[in-house]
Structure 1
Amino acid sequence: MSYDIRHLRAAHRFETKVDGEACQLDYSLHNGIMTITHTWVPDDVGGRGIAGELVRAAMEAARGEGWKVEPACSYARSWMERHPEYAALRA
């Protein structure tokens, strides 16, 4: 399934709404390193792959910007381990 994920650069956030529920990934950016600090999907809409799509959107944005990624969030860290095609982005 495809989600309408928006990159809110000023807020350092990726977000989408699913069934009226806000889902988000927060990050910080310093010296070209995107540190993913938090991924949140409410239980009511969990289990649909939303968190994974948020992380994928962040990875693609980092790739496009030439940033490295530090997955401080446990979900983002495990997602990166399962997707070796993004290993080159690891800070």
Structure 2
Amino acid sequence: MVVDHPERSRYELPLEREIAIAVYRDSGNVRAITHTEVPYALRGKGIGGQLVAGVLDDIRAKGMKVVPRCPFVARYIAEHPDYADLLS
């Protein structure tokens, strides 16, 4: 489950012994996702997609918009148009 840690301005997805993260900056009602990171050994296993989906679901639940500054997030939204309404 993806968890928002606003004190660190990042989301975390706890994994076996590590975490995947998505770093953000807020400006009013807009959340810019600036960086995502999945542990190297777990790349290519869908973890990044799971992370980004959880982040975008949280942004939607909070009534916010998103600016995908991270290329992975931008590509994810392009491939999942059901999240396009969140774009600022």
If the length of structure 1 is used for normalisation, what is the TM-score? 0.89
The Cα offsets for residues 48-83 of structure 1, whole Å up to 9 and x where unpaired, read as: 111111111111111111111000000000000000
Alignment of 1:19-34 (within 5 A): 19-34=16-31
Number of equivalenced pairs: 88
Farther off after superposition, 32-41 or 42-51: 42-51
5+ long unaligned stretches in structure 2: none
Asked whether the 8 Å contact 1:21–1:45 carries over to 2, the reply is: no
- Give % identity: 31
Say whether residues 1:68 and 2:40 are aligned partners: no
Alignment of 1:10-89 (within 5 A): 10-89=7-86
TM-score (norm 2): 0.92
Q: Any stretches of 5+ residues in structure 1 without a counterpart? A: none
Is the partner of 1:19 in helix, strand or coil?
coil
